[in-house]
Structure 1
Amino acid sequence: MSKKRPVAIALAGALCLVTTACADSSTDQDAGSGGDASAAAARSGYPVTLENCGVSEKITEEPGRVVVMNGASVAEVSTLLALGVQDKIVANQQSYGMSEVSGRAAAIKALPTGDVKLNDAYDIPREAMIGLRPDLVLSTTSYGFDEKNGFATREQLKQVGAHTYVSPQGCDQDTSKMTIADSYTLLRDMGKIFNKGDEAEKLIAASRKSIAEVSAKVKGEKRPEVMVLFSNMAMGGNDFSSVVAKGIYNDILAKAGGSNAFENAAKTSFADLSKEKVAATDVDALVVIGYNDPNPAAYAEQLLKEFPQWPAAKNDTYVALSDSMYLGPSNDLAVEKIAKMLHPDKF
């Protein structure tokens, strides 16, 4: 059942510890008169200043050579695709291999990779990063800019003219307090960086409207206990080490009319559980997240057979999802799909 590999370790590092808010963003307002050049810059939406994990990034023009680090995520690349700026990407290392959004997985696969030789964490080492000549580097957490892990630091990238950005809740390499609002922060910040603010706000408004409509339908209903886990993924020493305890997943579950059966099993994003602990917990439904797993539904069915005492097994209640369950522009799809699984009579 386990799939132990360096990327699993990277996923745990990217998603697992305890965090503080990361990306407070604001637009720079220049009060002084700078003639025609200043007026033109103002009309273009630049300059833009982002205060990001203690680093101030002043961006004076739209980035044209963007590098997206792996970070065991698709949040950043999916956000760029949603905003229509994928043509600015010169190297992308993110992929889930599947998506709830039609065509997204293929669009990600078609992006350039920069022909980089990756390190043991399946990410871009310092020398290769500098060689890509980026003007913007995106990382899911500060791990991607940690010198001791062989990565280029934010200061080193600044010295070669590259701006850097760490996604919301990634400053401390921990996403246990992440919510859907952080997906909106990422959208807004990328909208500002690429002068796509209107497009970002339209995406946010549509997502909020969809989630509000779903939540209204399930309001007041009994909240089933849901087990959320990554399929065929090992992050610890026990049989079930990729079980979600905290993070954006719980916000999605709550808005879909459910609750996390293992929320109190760990203080971090993931719980490392024995088979006995899992067997002793009443699980009403399964949400299996596929990370480069071609058939997460098969994994869900295997679990239901392994634990026939679960209400989920007796009622065959599960859904297999991927990128909509993580930070990114498509959380509304996860909310809808889970709500329909948990409360089919309301739809």
Structure 2
Amino acid sequence: MTHSPRPRPRTATGVLLALGLAGALTACGSGVTEPADDQREDDGRAATTVRNCGREITVSGTPEAVVGLHPAQTELLLRLGLGERIAGQAQTDAAPLPEDLRAAAESIPVLSDEAPPTREVLLGAAPDFVFAPTAYEFTAEQGFASLAQLDDAGVDAYIATGGCADRRMTGTVDDLFTDLENLGRVFGAEDAAARLADEARATLDDTARRLEGREPLTVAQVYVEGDTLSAIGAGIEYDIVRLAGGDNVFAPEDPAFADFFAAQINPEVLAERDPQALVFTVNSPEHEQATRDFLTTTFPDLDAVRNDRLIAVSGPDVFPGTLGNVDAVAAIARGLYPEAF
């Protein structure tokens, strides 16, 4: 499979599709000749070791200059109370940060707006820790710093558990709790991580209680880019719909999703399955309206369209390693079963 030098779909879910495709590439390479100076202060903390994507990461002391390679990761770092330690944010055009965090993020340097930052830009920010949503952000073939290059430069790199190359097809919302535990340990922010985890679990538990005994509605997850229609049938997205009480008409067992969590489909395929609800991700009000227009015009006889069960979800909320996964579960559940809320 070939890729353009800097692939970047214009919508957040399009980005996610690209990330999943490129995530299958091996993040490797060399070329870093001068390791970055170790800028981490000796704060007396013992080294912390966590497992991530089949690797062991041993962090000495507490990272002082961390970079979030996607707004979803920057949000999580800010929620952990690490704003003063963030040395850079990236892919800022993918989605705005939640309104309550925007002021705190104004002073954080922007390393890239669309694609992940190049190797030179990322290393130029002198990070000692990098947090990414997927393995794609470390694809040397795209000009990004590989895991090996960051290691050579003395930079620790962490990939959201659900974005590991070998887990992109089977990731679950629970992967978020692994990330919270690991990051809490790495940054000595165990209390903040535990609080966020407790709040997220409470939301999931509340949603599950409200859905008890309800007959599941059939759901199709779709993504519209112009006139192109894709279905989502695996990965974290699939688990989000499951936890929201939906019965997904596309599933990991379908041949179309044997190798990738999304597949382009013909309108006839969706019409044949006639779901009772449609879930789609958006990155702006304009994208949401365009998607609604496409679905209502293309599928006027679809059960979901006739009953106006078109449920929009923020694109970044389905990215691996984000608290938005839990928000998406609650939002979809409310859209499917408003009487339960």
Calculate the TM-score normalised by the size of structure 1.
Answer: 0.78
Q: Is the counterpart of residue 79 in structure 1 residue 76 in structure 2?
A: yes
What does residue 35 of structure 1 align with?
Answer: none
What does residue 200 of structure 2 align with?
Answer: 207
What does residue 326 of structure 1 align with?
Answer: 319
Q: Alpha-carbon deviation of 1:51? A: 2.4
Q: Deviations over 1:118-137 (max 9, x none)?
A: 8xx81222222222211112
What does residue 23 of structure 1 align with?
Answer: none
1:262 is paired with a residue whose SS is coil
Query: 2:140 pairs with 130, 141, 147, which one?
Result: 147
Contact 2:23 2:134 in 1 (8 A): no
Contact 2:208 2:243 in 1 (8 A): yes
Q: Alpha-carbon deviation of 1:258? A: 0.8
What does residue 59 of structure 1 align with?
Answer: 59
1:180 is paired with a residue whose SS is coil
What does residue 168 of structure 1 align with?
Answer: 161
What does residue 250 of structure 1 align with?
Answer: 238
Contact 1:256 1:335 in 2 (8 A): yes
Distance in 2 between residues matched to 1:255 and 1:51, nearest whole Å: 26
Distance in 2 between residues matched to 1:173 and 1:78, nearest whole Å: 25
1:122 is paired with a residue whose SS is coil
Q: Alpha-carbon deviation of 1:309? A: 1.0
Q: Alpha-carbon deviation of 1:87? A: 2.6
Q: Is the counterpart of residue 15 in structure 1 residue 29 in structure 2?
A: no
Distance in 2 between residues matched to 1:212 and 1:110, nearest whole Å: 36
What does residue 34 of structure 1 align with?
Answer: none
Q: Alpha-carbon deviation of 1:63? A: 1.5
Q: Deviations over 1:208-267 (max 9, x none)?
A: 122112112212211111122334368xxxx313x2111112222122211222223422
Q: Percent of pairs identical after alignment?
A: 28
Q: Which amino acid aligns with 2:16?
A: L
Q: Alpha-carbon deviation of 1:98? A: 4.4
After superposition, where does 1:178-193 map in structure 2 within 5 Å?
Answer: 178-193=171-186
Q: Is the counterpart of residue 287 in structure 1 residue 279 in structure 2?
A: yes
Contact 2:210 2:340 in 1 (8 A): yes
Q: Deviations over 1:160-204 (max 9, x none)?
A: 221111221333265111101111112222211211111111111
Distance in 1 between residues matched to 2:72 and 2:119, nearest whole Å: 22
Query: 2:124 pairs with 122, 131, 135, which one?
Result: 131
Calculate the TM-score normalised by the size of structure 2.
Answer: 0.80
Q: Alpha-carbon deviation of 1:294? A: 4.1
Evaluate the alpha carbon distance shift between residue 62 and residue 7 of structure 1 in structure 2; reply closer, same or farther with a 3 A threshold: same
Q: Alpha-carbon deviation of 1:282? A: 0.6
Distance in 1 between residues matched to 2:107 and 2:309, nearest whole Å: 34
Evaluate the alpha carbon distance shift between residue 131 and residue 332 of structure 1 in structure 2; reply closer, same or farther with a 3 A threshold: closer
**5+ long unaligned stretches in structure 1:** 20-37
Q: Alpha-carbon deviation of 1:292? A: 5.3
Evaluate the alpha carbon distance shift between residue 335 and residue 139 of structure 1 in structure 2; reply closer, same or farther with a 3 A threshold: closer
Contact 2:280 2:313 in 1 (8 A): yes
Q: Which amino acid aligns with 1:336?
A: A
**5+ long unaligned stretches in structure 2:** 25-41
What does residue 109 of structure 2 align with?
Answer: 112
What does residue 266 of structure 1 align with?
Answer: 257
Query: 1:240 pairs with 217, 229, 243, which one?
Result: 229
Contact 2:162 2:236 in 1 (8 A): no
Evaluate the alpha carbon distance shift between residue 211 and residue 132 of structure 1 in structure 2; reply closer, same or farther with a 3 A threshold: same
Q: Alpha-carbon deviation of 1:341? A: 1.5
What does residue 6 of structure 1 align with?
Answer: 7
Root mean square deviation of aligned Cα: 2.9
Distance in 2 between residues matched to 1:295 and 1:103, nearest whole Å: 23
Distance in 1 between residues matched to 2:226 and 2:319, nearest whole Å: 16
What does residue 28 of structure 2 align with?
Answer: none
2:209 is paired with a residue whose SS is helix
Q: Alpha-carbon deviation of 1:62? A: 1.9
* Equivalenced residues, count: 309
Contact 1:288 1:300 in 2 (8 A): no
What does residue 27 of structure 2 align with?
Answer: none
What does residue 22 of structure 1 align with?
Answer: none
Evaluate the alpha carbon distance shift between residue 175 and residue 313 of structure 1 in structure 2; reply closer, same or farther with a 3 A threshold: same
Q: Which amino acid aligns with 2:257?
A: A
What does residue 342 of structure 1 align with?
Answer: 336
Q: Alpha-carbon deviation of 1:334? A: 1.8
Q: Alpha-carbon deviation of 1:113? A: 0.8
